[in-house]
Amino acid sequence: MHQRIRLLLPRFIDLLFPLSCLGCGNEGAWLCTSCERSLAPLLANHCPFCEAKTNFGNTCDSCRGRHFLDGAISCVPYAQPLIRSLIHSWKYNGVAHVTEYLARFVGLSLNRARQSAQRMQAPILATGIGKQALRSLADTPALLRGEPILLEPIPLHPKREKERGFNQSLLLAQRLAGAGASWRLSRSLSRTKKTAAQATLSGTDRRTNIAAAFELSDPEAVSGQHVVLVDDVITTGSTADALAQLLKEAGSISVWALTIAYGHPAHA
Interface with Zn ion by CB under 5 A: which residues? 21, 23-24, 32, 35, 47, 49-50, 52, 60, 63
Nearer to Zn ion, 30 or 78 (CB): 30
Nearer to Zn ion, 29 or 213 (CB): 29
Strand-pairing partners, residue 111, are none
The answer to whether the beta carbons of residues 4 and 93 sit under 8 Å apart is yes
CA 73 to chain centre: 7
| Residue 53 C-beta: closest distance to Zn ion, Å | 10
Nearer to Zn ion, 64 or 187 (CB): 64
Strand-pairing partners, residue 153, are 230
| Residue 97 C-beta: closest distance to Zn ion, Å | 15
Nearer to Zn ion, 63 or 176 (CB): 63
**C-alpha closest to that of 166 among 234, 94, 100:** 94
CA 227 to chain centre: 12
Distances (CA, A) of 39 to 23, 75, 252: 10, 10, 34
Nearer to Zn ion, 24 or 40 (CB): 24
| Residue 217 C-beta: closest distance to Zn ion, Å | 31
| Residue 62 C-beta: closest distance to Zn ion, Å | 6
| Residue 237 C-beta: closest distance to Zn ion, Å | 10
Cα–Cα distance between 265 and 268 in angstroms, integer? 5
